[in-house]
């Protein structure tokens, strides 16, 4: 049994971890522990200091040391004496906002709970167990149901929350975080992932300051600027040693992660929908479902923690035919042509690609409506026969005849003012009556909270997918959202719209991915502006960044790798000088970096020299040889590009028999030693042979002494070492 309950102590055990909480004599649910399995009740760690200005619940009588403000709480509510960041806050009909949550009942169920309308980690009945704990505010009859999914094998716990209004009048939910985690002891640092368009998910590790630190988005998407994932590490925690906890929110809209270090040095983490762009009126009898958080911890460093997340996301979040299958190597025409193409140009690129072993041609932006630049056409999802002569079907057939699959780009959530759709339905674009809307990339956003919009998009997109042999869809989204207002809601409910937008998006994705399970959907938002576990439920890969520069990509892919599996990372070789940075790197370096993901090309192959084409043909076959190791092996970060002069990583097969070390050394240096890199995750007593030069090492030597990288001449030089375990 993964879940046990004894004397009101709830223990959630996975293979290596214990999560524990206790409903105390007052019915307050205390958080006791999240960490290594201890084999005992951790309530002896609870302390009751007499802290000035800490209030006491009424039933505590003269017990002035019993305070919600100092105890570790499992789910903290606002307004009743815990002055730290709350996980939940509501406004009642009378205008008051106290919520006094006390334990009422619990249920244990086989299998994993689901969440209506939202993506959630899934499992067979025997793979997971569910615990539901009901807390109640008796005065208002508000129930808060805490949901826990326990994945023993994976060392993962999921959390979600349902708020139920059992009273007679509506309440307004002002915030409802999916995670609340109190950590009264420990010297913690946090890692969050900040960035910008073309430079997403830059890992930043800092000490905690007293007070609140935050990583969040109010952009309507999870965003390029912050990512809904966070790591808490004990000081000194490395890739291979030390304790750390990770949390990733399965949500693609505005989110908030807050970490508070309080007056007693206790730490609280909350994570969920961003309350700055959220409020929800819950009618009497209604329920609200919060998105899910995936939680894991490791006593063996951040590498192992990443493995837990890669495993759960790949096996229990991603879905569809391509969930575990090898993805086709693709060629995308965006950086090759931008809007300047016709069917002949596309055919020519595809022809050349097919000769180099590439599997799929992806037709990017510009194939529909009046779309010769980014100023017009969005919303008109009908092929532009002036560019694609003979129509889409004919082009797809011509490409298929070359032995290639065909994929296509959509940006369903957007509309150009210069489009047929906008002419017909200006009211479908998000804007506030009486104000001009914000334009971004000249475009407006469709109101995805409106069921008519979702239905229209479903009809036009499914028609194209039904009529043509399309095996891949790139689902793009190229701006942040503001001007929140919808005609479909009364004025006092307008703050529901950002969340309803995400629900509409998920509904559309669910319908389309359900109806076309053999189509590979790749998520995209100007690159990686919506790279989150929510989108990965519908799209098993996401275009990682619009920055295709191999040097910068190593930083982006380094940050992305903390939570998201390598198969999820869409990654392409593009032309030099690179279109984003102007930097020129070798075709080998570009290939090595793009191979650490779901691989493809994004350049005009016809403009390359015969040597470069030969190199590409070789890369495609090397990638196909390693693809299974790259997807299914354990991924190890062997250096930190922010601190080291290189970015090096490795894939180690499940049985530790096959090892692929790849990376880029950034700057050459004269008169110095060769660089050394220590490997991870090998079989210590086994012998490993370098496939290229036949040299043999023990696993222990490779992990302790490391391996010398080849002598490097020049900047941004790639390295690749393939080792195989040998029986001697
Ligand atoms: C942004 C994407 O990230 C690019 O790859 C490309 O599809 C453009 N949009 C097209 O507008």
Among the listed residues 532, 552, 602, 604, the single catalytic one is 532
711 a catalytic residue:
no
Place of tokens 């016709």: 342
Going from the Cα of 86 to the center of ligand 1, the distance in angstroms, rounded, reads: 39
Give CA–CA dist 507/448, Å, rounded.
10
Q: List, in order, residues 6 or more apart from 299 with CB less than 8 Å away.
A: 16, 35, 36, 242, 243
Q: How far is CA 158 from the centre of its chain?
A: 15
Q: Give pLDDT, residue 106.
A: 98
The minimum-distance atom of ligand 1 relative to the CA of 602 is: 5
Neighbours of 485 (CB within 10 A): 16
Q: Give pLDDT, residue 627.
A: 98
Q: Give pLDDT, residue 205.
A: 98
Element (H, E) at 581: none
Give CA–CA dist 489/170, Å, rounded.
16
Q: Give pLDDT, residue 1.
A: 78
Q: Which residues line ligand 1 (CB under 6 A)?
A: 334, 364-365, 409, 476, 478, 524, 526-527, 543, 546
Neighbours of 669 (CB within 10 A): 10
Evaluate whether 304 touches 246 at the Cβ level (below 8 Å).
no
The tens digit of pLDDT for each residue in 428-471 reads 999 999 999 999 999 999 999 999 999 999 999 999 999 999 99
The tens digit of pLDDT for each residue in 58-105 reads 999 999 999 999 999 999 999 999 999 999 999 999 999 999 999 999
Ligand 1 atom 4: residue of nearest CA: 526
> CA–CA distance from 708 to each of 38, 125, 688 (Å)?
41, 48, 15
- The ranges of the chain with pLDDT < 70 are 728
Q: Give pLDDT, residue 180.
A: 98
Going from the Cα of 626 to the center of ligand 1, the distance in angstroms, rounded, reads: 28
364 a catalytic residue:
no
């Amino acid at each position: 049994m993964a879940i046990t309950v004894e004397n009101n102590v709830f223990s959630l055990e996975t293979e290596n971890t214990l999560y524990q909480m206790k409903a105390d004599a007052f019915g307050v649910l205390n958080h006791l522990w999240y960490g290594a399995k201890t084999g005992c009740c951790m309530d002896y760690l609870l302390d009751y200091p007499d802290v000035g200005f800490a209030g006491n619940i009424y039933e505590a009588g003269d017990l002035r040391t019993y305070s919600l403000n100092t105890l570790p709480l499992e789910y903290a509510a606002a307004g009743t004496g815990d002055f730290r960041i709350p996980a939940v806050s509501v406004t009642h009909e009378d205008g008051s906002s106290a919520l006094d949550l006390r334990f009422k009942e619990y249920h244990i169920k086989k299998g994993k709970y689901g969440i209506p309308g939202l993506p959630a980690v899934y499992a067979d009945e025997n793979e997971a167990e569910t615990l539901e704990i009901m807390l109640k505010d008796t005065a208002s009859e508000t129930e808060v149901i805490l949901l826990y999914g326990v994945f023993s094998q994976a060392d993962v716990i999921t959390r979600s929350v349902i708020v139920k209004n059992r009273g007679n009048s509506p309440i307004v939910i002002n915030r409802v975080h999916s995670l609340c985690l109190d950590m009264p002891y420990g010297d913690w640092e946090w890692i969050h992932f900040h960035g910008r368009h073309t430079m997403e998910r830059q890992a930043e590790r800092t000490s905690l300051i007293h007070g609140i630190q935050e990583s969040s988005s109010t952009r309507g998407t999870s965003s390029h600027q912050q990512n809904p994932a966070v790591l808490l590490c004990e000081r000194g925690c490395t890739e291979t040693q030390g304790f750390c906890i990770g949390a990733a929110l399965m949500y693609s809209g505005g989110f908030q992660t807050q970490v508070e270090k309080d007056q007693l040095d206790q730490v609280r983490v909350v994570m969920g929908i961003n309350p700055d762009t959220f409020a929800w009126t819950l009618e009497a009898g209604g329920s609200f479902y919060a998105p899910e958080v995936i939680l894991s911890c490791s006593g063996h460093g951040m590498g192992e923690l990443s493995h837990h997340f890669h495993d759960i996301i790949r096996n229990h979040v991603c879905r569809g035919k391509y969930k575990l299958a090898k993805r086709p190597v693709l060629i995308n025409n965006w950086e090759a042509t931008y809007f300047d193409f016709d069917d002949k140009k596309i055919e020519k690129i595809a022809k050349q690609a097919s000769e180099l072993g590439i599997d799929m041609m992806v037709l990017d932006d510009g194939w529909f409506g009046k779309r010769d630049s980014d100023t017009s056409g969005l919303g008109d999802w009908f092929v532009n026969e002036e560019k694609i002569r003979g129509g889409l079907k004919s082009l797809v057939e011509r490409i298929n005849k070359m032995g290639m699959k065909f994929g296509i780009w959509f940006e369903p959530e957007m509309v150009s003012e210069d489009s047929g759709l906008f002419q017909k339905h200006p009211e479908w674009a998000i804007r506030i009556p009486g104000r001009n809307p914000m334009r971004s990339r000249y475009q407006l956003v469709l109101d995805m909270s409106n069921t008519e919009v979702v239905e229209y998009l479903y009809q036009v997109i499914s028609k194209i997918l039904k009529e043509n042999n399309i095996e891949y869809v790139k689902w793009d989204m190229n701006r942040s959202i503001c001007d929140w207002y919808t005609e479909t809601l009364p004025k006092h409910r307008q703050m529901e719209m950002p969340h309803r937008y995400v629900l509409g998006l998920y509904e559309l994705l669910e319908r389309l991915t359900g109806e076309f399970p053999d189509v590979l959907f790749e998520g995209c938002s100007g690159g990686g502006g919506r790279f989150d576990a929510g989108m990965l439920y519908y799209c098993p890969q996401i275009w990682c960044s619009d920055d295709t520069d191999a040097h910068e990509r190593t930083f982006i892919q380094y940050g992305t790798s903390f939570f998201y599996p390598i198969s999820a990372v869409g990654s392409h070789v593009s032309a030099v000088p690179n279109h984003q940075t102007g930097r020129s790197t070798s075709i080998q370096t570009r290939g090595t970096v793009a191979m650490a993901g779901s691989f493809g090309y994004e350049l005009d192959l016809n403009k390359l020299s015969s040597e470069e084409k030969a190199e590409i043909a070789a890369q495609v076959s090397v990638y196909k040889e390693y693809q299974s190791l790259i997807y299914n092996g354990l991924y190890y970060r062997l250096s930190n590009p922010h601190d080291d002069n290189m970015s090096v990583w490795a894939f180690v097969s499940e049985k530790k028999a096959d090892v692929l070390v790849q990376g880029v050394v950034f700057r050459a240096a004269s008169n110095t030693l060769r660089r050394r890199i220590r490997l991870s995750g090998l079989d210590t007593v086994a012998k490993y042979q370098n496939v290229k030069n036949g040299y043999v090492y023990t696993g222990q030597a490779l992990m302790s002494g490391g391996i010398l990288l080849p002598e490097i001449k020049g900047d941004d030089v790639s390295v690749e070492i393939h080792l195989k375990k040998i029986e001697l």
